Amino acid sequence: MVTVSEAVEYDVVVLGGGPAGENIVDRTRAAGLTTALVEAELVGGECSYWACIPSKALLRPALARADARRVPGLAGSVQGPLDTAAVLAHRDYWTSSWKDDGQVDWLDSIGAHLYRGHGRLYGVRKVAVTSPEGEHHVLSARHAVVVATGTRAVIPDVPGLAGARPWTSREATSAQHAPGRLLVVGGSVVAAEMATAWQALGSQVTMLVRGSGLLPRMEPFAGELVAEALREAGAVVRTDVSVEAVVRDGSTGPVQVVLEGGEILEGDELLMATGRSPHTEDIGLETVGLTPGDWIPVDDSCRVEGHDWLYAVGDVNHRALLTHQGKYQARIAGGVIAARAAGVPELDTGRWGAHVASADTQAMPQAVFTDPEAAAVGLTLAEAERAGHRVRAVDYDLGKVSGAGLYADGYRGRARLVVDLDREVLLGATFVGPGAAELLHAATVAVAGEVPIARLWHAVPAFPTVSEIWLRLLETYRG
Ligand SMILES: Cc1cc2nc3c(=O)[nH]c(=O)nc-3n(C[C@H](O)[C@H](O)[C@H](O)COP(=O)(O)OP(=O)(O)OC[C@H]3O[C@@H](n4cnc5c(N)ncnc54)[C@H](O)[C@@H]3O)c2cc1C
Ligand SMILES: NC(=O)c1ccc[n+]([C@@H]2O[C@H](COP(=O)([O-])OP(=O)(O)OC[C@H]3O[C@@H](n4cnc5c(N)ncnc54)[C@H](O)[C@@H]3O)[C@@H](O)[C@H]2O)c1
């Protein structure tokens, strides 16, 4: 091991090169600071290679076909199966076949230094790196160390599961063929999106959901509409079931799942879409008084309490497990690091200030690329009520909007605004329907901007777009 006296010094050292880590590098370099990035696998992280990008590349053809099948005059031409090989090749293109040359070129172009290898905190302001070749480096940070090590899939402690080669999100996004029968355990976002993709790509999907419905963090109608569409597409969606054991003999044979009550189901692959745990077991948290394996709690500037040099951004701080929020946190924390390095006397930490990630808690958007798409920002009705707001939910059938009817024959969807009755602003909005993801940003602007309902009345949606849902919702609210 090299000694600390041989440490290479930078202004900022970033541990983990996913979207959040990359954005810290970008912001701190833009501020003229010297920055090193430590990455154990591929620069770009989970999102680029085994999550957002490949999953959306698999889903886009499925959703485009579903939309086209609802357009008179076109529907007849798109009744056949997807070209699975072409879809997988398209996915491979979007992951650059799991190579990160493009991202590395970008790091070079902005003058950041990449250290490939496993990084660990090594006491105050230091990171030790072990390269794949076994070389050791110690990096020392003048201003900040930023942990952005992300998450991995949780494999629950179910008898027989660990030895049954279950798929996680990694295999579900990188598989090179469609399994004949795919069992999916879980009912949240990864489960719903991957069930949608693989059912469309030719697998017979069976979803085994522990709860009473899909997409449990959204308004209940989101999960209901997505489950209905999955069933119509031929998938089996079973709710209120619990997996008690898994059996798989040999390495390539079918896998059996034993449900509570004894029923046995068989599949060719088993996807466990049962949540995430932080990549913090072996990153030296103990050397700075934190607990290995835990999420890293931070304040609203993404700084770790009690350590004025240590920050955590992205999934690892557990504020919002979404790429765009991790990137947002990185922009905020990058700005904080740059301001403090420049000796700015006072940070802008008021609500919605430049140095606090207010949107994580007050206006977080999410788009789920199922058929129909489900998109939401801010609070659901139940969350707003739990938080003690005096609210009213305003609902409207998206299919009744002319733009939606023209978009697709028999358009099925629903929208909800959650209105704060005391301030007459939106606390949340949800849209479920084909193409609904693109309705989301208008709602995000309204929620983050706390735009008064009276002013939204003057934001006129173009006719005949699906966005006319805004007019219908406001009319419904005003009675
Ligand atoms: C199937 C799936 C689909 C998703 N789709 C979406 C989507 O459509 N939209 C969306 O917003 N979010 C989506 N997400 C969530 C999104 O992937 C994460 O929120 C995002 O990747 C988090 O970014 P991050 O930078 O915090 O961490 P990651 O992307 O996990 O990157 C962390 C990086 O740190 C590296 N690392 C870890 N430990 C070390 C170490 N000790 N030393 C060096 N390097 C280390 C890892 O190798 C990795 O490259 C999806 C997730 C899944 C699983
Ligand atoms: N389009 C997007 O924005 C997108 C897509 C995919 C994932 N993501 C994000 O990635 C993160 C991970 O998603 P996820 O769906 O893996 O996790 P999740 O935490 O959202 O859901 C995990 C689900 O698994 C269930 N579960 C846990 N243990 C179980 C068990 N033993 N048996 C049966 N069910 C069990 C839970 O009840 C929960 O509903 C989420 O935060 C999600 O927002 C986002």
Q: pLDDT tens-digit profile of 173-210?
A: 999 999 999 999 999 999 999 999 999 999 999 999 99
Which protein residue has the closest C-alpha to ligand 2 atom 35? Answer: 274
**Integer Cα distance of 136 and 120 in angstroms:** 11
User: How confident is the model at residue 249, as a pLDDT?
Assistant: 85
Q: Is 378 in the pocket of ligand 1 (CB under 6 A)?
A: no
**Integer Cα distance of 343 and 349 in angstroms:** 16
Burial class (CB in 10 A: 0-12, 13-18, 19+), 261: exposed
CA 28 to ligand 2 centroid distance, Å: 32
Residue 44 CA: nearest ligand 1 atom is 49
Q: Is 300 in the pocket of ligand 1 (CB under 6 A)?
A: no
ipTM score of the complex? 0.98
CA 46 to ligand 1 centroid distance, Å: 4
Which protein residue has the closest C-alpha to ligand 1 atom 5? Answer: 52
Q: Is 35 in the pocket of ligand 1 (CB under 6 A)?
A: no
Burial class (CB in 10 A: 0-12, 13-18, 19+), 385: middle
Domains along the chain? Answer: 8-44+100-152+278-359 (3.50.50.60), 162-274 (3.50.50.60), 372-478 (3.30.390.30)
Q: Is 298 in the pocket of ligand 2 (CB under 6 A)?
A: no
Contact predicate 112/11, CB 8 Å:
no
Q: Is 61 in the pocket of ligand 1 (CB under 6 A)?
A: no
Tokens found for residue 14: 């970033």
Of 159, 152, 151, the closest CA to residue 242 belongs to 159
Which protein residue has the closest C-alpha to ligand 1 atom 26? Answer: 314
Q: pLDDT tens-digit profile of 341-381?
A: 999 999 999 999 999 999 999 999 999 999 999 999 999 99
Per-run averaged pLDDT (10 residues), the chain, 479 residues:
75 98 98 98 98 98 97 96 98 98 98 98 98 96 98 98 96 98 98 98 98 98 98 98 94 92 98 98 98 98 97 98 98 98 96 97 97 98 98 98 97 98 98 98 98 98 98 97
User: How confident is the model at residue 2, as a pLDDT?
Assistant: 56
In whole numbers, what is the pLDDT of the chain averaged over residues?
A: 97
Which of 13, 15, 38, 47 to mutate to test ligand 1, by most ligand atoms within 8 A of the CB atom?
A: 47
Which of 139, 279, 302, 327 to mutate to test ligand 1, by most ligand atoms within 8 A of the CB atom?
A: 279
Residue 20 CA: nearest ligand 1 atom is 25
CA 26 to ligand 1 centroid distance, Å: 17
Strands 255-259 and 118-121: unpaired
Residue 129 CA: nearest ligand 1 atom is 42
Q: Is 216 in the pocket of ligand 2 (CB under 6 A)?
A: yes
Q: Is 46 in the pocket of ligand 1 (CB under 6 A)?
A: yes
Q: Is 243 in the pocket of ligand 2 (CB under 6 A)?
A: yes
Of 348, 360, 354, 349, the closest CA to residue 313 belongs to 360
CA 367 to ligand 1 centroid distance, Å: 17
CA 126 to ligand 2 centroid distance, Å: 34
User: How confident is the model at residue 330, as a pLDDT?
Assistant: 98
**Integer Cα distance of 263 and 255 in angstroms:** 14
Q: Is 207 in the pocket of ligand 1 (CB under 6 A)?
A: no
Beta pairing partners, 103: none
Q: What does the DSSP assignment read for 69-138?
A: TTSTTTGGGG-S---HHHHHHHHHHHTGGG--HHHHHHHHHTTPEEEESEEEE-STTEEEEE-TTS-EEE
Residues tagged in the binding site annotation for FAD: 56, 119, 315
Which of 53, 59, 188, 194 to mutate to test ligand 2, by most ligand atoms within 8 A of the CB atom?
A: 188
Q: Is 129 in the pocket of ligand 1 (CB under 6 A)?
A: no
User: How confident is the model at residue 4, as a pLDDT?
Assistant: 58
**Integer Cα distance of 107 and 13 in angstroms:** 14
Which protein residue has the closest C-alpha to ligand 1 atom 27? Answer: 150
Residues tagged in the binding site annotation for NAD(+): 186-193, 275
Q: Is 187 in the pocket of ligand 2 (CB under 6 A)?
A: yes
CA 39 to ligand 2 centroid distance, Å: 25
- pTM > 0.90: yes or no: yes
Q: Is 15 in the pocket of ligand 1 (CB under 6 A)?
A: yes
Strands 136-147 and 310-312: parallel
CA 92 to ligand 1 centroid distance, Å: 18
Tokens found for residue 247: 């059996």
CA 337 to ligand 2 centroid distance, Å: 32
